[in-house]
Amino acid sequence: MKILISSLLVVFLSMSMISCSESNDSIDAENKNTEDVLSEMPPYYPINFEADGYGATWTWSVFENGNNPAVEIVDNPSKTGVNTSNKVAKITALQVGSPYVGCETKHGSDIGSFTFDETNTTVKIMVYKSVISDVGIKFSESNGEAQPEIKVSNTKINEWEELTFDFSGSIGKGISGIIDQIIIFPDYQSRNADHVVYFDHITFGN
Whether the per-residue pLDDT at 187 is higher than 50: the answer is yes
pTM: 0.83
What span, in angstroms and rounded, lies between the C-alpha atoms of 133 and 99?
10
Each residue of 125-155: pLDDT tens digit?
999 999 999 999 999 999 989 989 999 999 9
Residue 205, classified by CB atoms within 10 Å of its CB into exposed (0-12), middle (13-18) or buried (19+), is exposed
- Tell me what pLDDT residue 58 has: 98
| C-alpha pair distances (Å), 9 with each of 15, 16, 17, 18 | 10, 11, 12, 14
The rounded percent of the chain whose pLDDT value lies above 90 is 80
Of 201, 129, 187, 133, the C-alpha closest to 159 is 129
Return the higher-pLDDT residue of 35 and 85: 85
- Tell me what pLDDT residue 101 has: 98
Enclosing H/E stretch for 198: strand 195-205
